[in-house]
Amino acid sequence: FRLSLFDQILYQSQMVSNVLETLKKAMEERILIIDGAMGTEIQKYRLTSDDFRGEEFKDHPVELKGNNDLLVITRPDVIKAIHSSYLAAGADLVETCTFSSTTLAQADYKLEPLAYRLNFEAAKIAKECTVEFTKKDPTKPRFVAGAMGPTSRSASISPSVDRPDFRNVTYEELVTAYTEQAKGLLDGGADILLVETVFDTLNCRAALFAIQDLFQTGEYQKVPVMVSGTIIDKAGRNLSGQTAEAFLASMAHVDLVCCGLNCALGAADMRPHILQISQSFGGYVLCYPNAGLPNTFGEYDQTPDEMAGLVREFAEAGLINIIGGCCGSTPAHIKSIAQSMAGVAPRKIPKLAPDMILSGLETLVVTKQSNFVNVGERCNVSGSRRFANMIKQNKYEEALTVARQQVEAGAQVIDINFDEGMLDAHFAMKKFLALIGSEPEISRVPVMIDSSNFEVIQSGLRMVQGKCIVNSISLKGGEEEFIRQASIVKKFGAAVVVMAFDEQGQAVTASDKVRICYRSYKILTEKVGFAPQDIIFDANILTIATGMEEHNNYGVEFIDACRQIKELMPLTQVSGGVSNLSFSFRGNEPLREAMHSVFLYHAIKAGMTMGIVNAGALPIYDDINKDLLKLCEDAILNRTSDATEKLLAYAQNSKGNKSAAGAAVEVEEWRTKDVSSRLSHALVKGIADYVELDVEEARTSLPSALRVIEGPLMGGMNVVGDLFGAGKMFLPQVIKSARVMKKAVAYLIPFMEIEKAAALAADPNASASPQHAGTVIMATVKGDVHDIGKNIVGVVLGCNNYRVVDLGVMTPCEKILEAAVKEKADVIGLSGLITPSLDEMVHVAKEMQRLKMDIPLLIGVATTSQIHTAVKIATRYHHPTVHVLDASRSVTVVSALLDANRAASKEYADEIATEYQDMREHHYKTLREKKYLSLEAARARKAKVDWPALLKGVKTPTFLGNKVYIDYPLEKLVSRIDWVPFFSVWELRGKAPNRGYPKIFNDKEVGPEAKRVFDDANKMLDMIVKEKLLSARGVIGFYPANSTGDDIELYTDETKTKVAGKMYGLRQQTEREADSVCSCFGDFVAPKEEGTDYIGLFAVSTGFGLESLVEKYKADHDEYSVIMAKAMADRLAEAFAEHMHEVVRKQLWGYCPEEELTNSDMFRATPKYQGVRPAPGYPSQPDHTEKHTIWKLLDVYAQTGIELTPSLAMLPGSSVCGVYFAHPHSWYFNVDKVSKDQVVDYAHRKGVPVSEIEKWLGPILSYDSENLA
């Protein structure tokens, strides 16, 4: 769907004519009004799914209700009425209903091809409305703002906590999507393009890149462009971490008519941030806050008059030019706001200083008064051997420590360079910048993208959200190429380093340096349009003291050039690579550092404003040994003819002497302050070195040890809390502060115990309020929904005086660790049932180690084991990490770890560590000794099946395709409940001969309790069935199928001409007896050449309704019933699976119509029924990703509502899925360990990376995938 060229020209001419001039004139005269929320108004129409679908989309396969943008096609009357209501209320600008009208956002509805049309139709509707109202009152022109939302993806933030360098969208994809959206809006008649609700600045920069492209190519005439960001909290940052000022700096390259803020906050909370925008932006300011903050029901309570009163103060303070409303605002709000603006003058645009402003998450402002800007040099593979080795060994996360150290040492910009012949510089640049983007301590400063390959520079520019520096371009390739590269840099919004090179080569003398720099300056400012303050000249710092006389004056030439450049082009910056100066003395770092310090002392005075230097290795000029200082100055300033020889002689005599540079060791100034200030400083900075010394001093000067905690320690922690709340400290820093606090409190505890005993002796009632034995954070890890075991452990610990903070299910790593800091936890306990949860537990352990946490980590529940904890988790975290077998052991373990006797606690932890070390050694020895067949040999041992004979009697299912069951009668499932796992949940185990159900009731020790719990379960079960508190849903499908090697092809019909899907199998490889079979579930279906066979798939759940039931019990503080309800839902789900398998065998597939089996026949380890129903993620097929095929073929989510989490747990948790095999030789086998050859083959068959397969199959690998050579 595209407009004809004639229509495009017509719309463009109508649209562009005098819009900018008219808009600016209006904003100078009065405060303009932009409309309010679209979604709020749409909800009032109570539209049905049919309204969203209309006639055109009535058969669309995806639910469309909620896709508000689609209404411009299916219900344009609604959208037009809403626009008209806002215009009637006084709005000067209306936004098009296109917040999600990009291919990326519409992908959620499978309507990507509709993107252009949505934008065109939306703009057209809005244009009709504004034209109508402008005709009514020509003195008040109305404008259409084409709304360009943020999309549903982020170019700066990883959606995966364990893959910080991963992005779910690329810059190029965003540019493509926004280009199409802008075209549709412009063709439809939009007067303005408004990039709004910006939560990720890189997304916004991609949108602006797309818009610039349309204008610069001449395809579209230029229209006013506006941007509105979204500050998400009181710290004043957007979701991708930028401050308001950094956000502005990132877009300074675009000629924005208007910039401001909307959404997330109400007017009261938005004021300080709009004030910052108003003071920092040299254009007009718009603001459209929410109608307050949402209440507990997600609704907005702020009245029109209340909101109008708040924003009027904005106007009276001179902060705004355009005002309106976002979420929760209505035409009534807009009317009140419009009335409140009467008589208030609009904001006057401030005149801003022409300073260089760079940004990471925060800004770096370089003014005439600024000190020298240190550009950290160590993230350069050419300049740092250590960094280069890390990158070559693919240790990118370890390489981040180099960047972090540079920032901590004072670098204000980080130079990043991967120019090395053996590296893929494109890949390295993108990966490292993505990783930096996930590290706020590093990404708060701007980056310098450094490469001699301009394509690598462009790769880097697509990865940074802030205003960075490009290093470098020059006239070396001629003026045309220089202009091309400079234009690209400007379009990306970066500052640029210009080398003093031209077509004749490198400038050596001051006159040549200045000549080339001035020529470059004229081209950049007059032909490309660069702001002078965004130009940085690298005037070539060249090596001195080489023994060649012509090199002796290089230092002087650079210093003279600095002086002349700043006089001729005062707004530009002068930089250089400082380490080049001393290259003759590489290996003698103290001497080189002294030379750098002396050189910078003179160059900075002459006008050098920034430089690439190791920020942590610069001695203070005045502290340099006087003899060395004179030698350095003689060489750098070329004052004597023998300066080089004398410096060389000094170098020979001082080589290896680290004190030769004479850097003074100063007493840390903060240590001279009073003890309260020292403790506060230590807590804020996370310095634990002196804490016991300072705490002891405070203890002896205060009445009690408790007063030390209540006074200086809590005072310091309050400062930390304030700084964190204000966005001035990041989480890793807060964790370090908490560590210092714990160390201080641990030191005071013995004294507090003595004081407590003395107080009790004097007054038995002195301790009225009991102290908790410790605080335990508990969580089911990200991607997993199973929590019965965790809940039981929590109850047991709570009964033993531990404070338990339960974070629930699907808990991301960062939430667990944040809670540990916030709650001052003594222990973290992780739970999970599915195999991928094991990897998430490993990730949590790694993060605890990275953040230098020191509290015990407990690992528990079904799929975990002591050996897995020892091998995979304990090795990642160097503090106590313990596997807890069941709830009964939890108290013993926690009490031992938190023993007040620190020696006893340490002894217990050491015992666990020693035990786990022994287990690891045994595990790796077993791996080495255990024999595995090659995949080829294992396949040769597949079961021998007489397929012709078997297929003669093959039974065809009663239907092919899928059959859905909704609200299946629960009473049909009760008789098939397997009660043995139920008692395991409650950790009730009878002893022989009273094991299992119902014999457990005869056990003298646990029998009575088992009977009581069983009776309670049946009471609840009766209630659930009678009142239909849970809903059973499922879907079953049968397909013609054949095996192809280890895999199974499923066909759409019996012609077998179209493959509907493919199930992939894993084969046993462990070497057993010579004649033993190596099974794979592909062996359970006939090969294609043998004839047609069949397979079944299923997914069932009884978890619908459980959440409401659980919440009811939680409201009554009835944890016992919470656990019971979850246990019964799980038992019913398994019973549903068992029951449906029986129905399949006897009726739906009907291959065993006469079967009569008891529960004991069905629940035994090797059931007596024919056929099996293995599930992905379990022993016969340990790969959870096979669930994707089941979900696709059965359309599980759409048909039943059972969904898969990112870790492929089923939601609701009380769900079962699997594959039906009917042949008599099929059986429940255990794949056990698999070797590398099978993993590689399996990955190739599935078309995914080997590393991805290794992640999902981690527990069954016969090798260590992380350390495999």
Beta-ladder partners of 887: none
> Are 466 and 422 spatial neighbours (Cβ–Cβ below 8 Å)?
no
> What SS3 state is found at 1132?
helix
Which one, of 1214, 415, 279, lies nearest residue 788 by Cα?
A: 1214
Looking up tokens 């979204």, which residue turns up? 230
What tokens does 1147 get?
A: 């009726």
- Distance from the first to the final alpha carbon of the chain: 55
Of the candidates 415, 784, 1083, 1183, the residue annotated as catalytic is 784
Q: CA-CA distance, 652 to 588, in Å (whole number)? A: 9
Distances (CA, A) of 563 to 55, 514, 574: 73, 10, 10
Do 1110 and 1102 form a contact (C-beta atoms < 8 A)?
no
Beta strands in 792-880 (DSSP E): 802-806, 827-831, 857-860
Q: How far apart are CA 1210 and CA 1248, in angstroms?
A: 23
* Active-site choice (837, 1101, 1180, 1215): 837
The tokens for 649 are 């002689």
Cα distances (Å, whole numbers) of residue 26 to 22, 87, 280: 6, 16, 22
Helix H or strand E encompassing 32: strand 32-33
Given a contact cutoff of 8 angstroms between Cβ atoms, the answer to whether 286 and 258 are in contact is: yes
Task: List phi, psi (to 5°) of 842.
Answer: -60, -40
The DSSP output letter for 1184 is G
The torsion region of residue 809 among left (phi > 0), alpha (psi -120 to 50) and beta comes to beta
Cα–Cα distance measured from residue 334 to residue 86, given in angstroms and rounded to the nearest whole number = 7
Q: Are 1132 and 1030 in contact (CB under 8 A)?
A: yes
d(CA 30, CA 320): 10
Q: Active site residue: 83, 596, 681, 786, which one?
A: 786
- Which string of DSSP letters, residue by residue, matches 211-275? HHHHHHTTSS----EEEEE---STT-B-TTS-BHHHHHHHTTTS--SEEEEEEEEEHHHHHHHHH
Report the side by side order of strands in the sheet with 535-538: 573-575, 535-538, 495-499, 469-473, 447-450, 413-417, 373-380, 610-613
**Cα gap 703→125, rounded to integer Å:** 75
Helix (H) or strand (E) holding 962: strand 961-966
Residue 998's identity, in one-letter code, is: P
Q: Which residues make Cβ contacts (< 8 Å) with residue 509, sequence separation at least 6?
A: 557
| Euclidean distance between CA atoms 869 and 1263, whole angstroms | 17
Q: How many whole angstroms separate alpha carbon 50 and alpha carbon 32?
A: 37
Q: Is 786 a catalytic residue?
A: yes
Q: How distant, in Å, are the alpha carbons of 20, 212, 472, 859, 1089 from that of 456?
A: 37, 22, 11, 44, 52
Phi, psi values for residue 760, rounded to 5°: -65, -35
CB proximity list for 1236: less than 8 A, separation 6 or greater: 1262, 1263, 1268
Phi, psi of 1050 (to 5 degrees): -110, 135
Length in residues, the chain: 1269
Q: Which residue has the tokens 């590393």?
A: 1251
Active site (catalytic) residues: 784, 786, 837
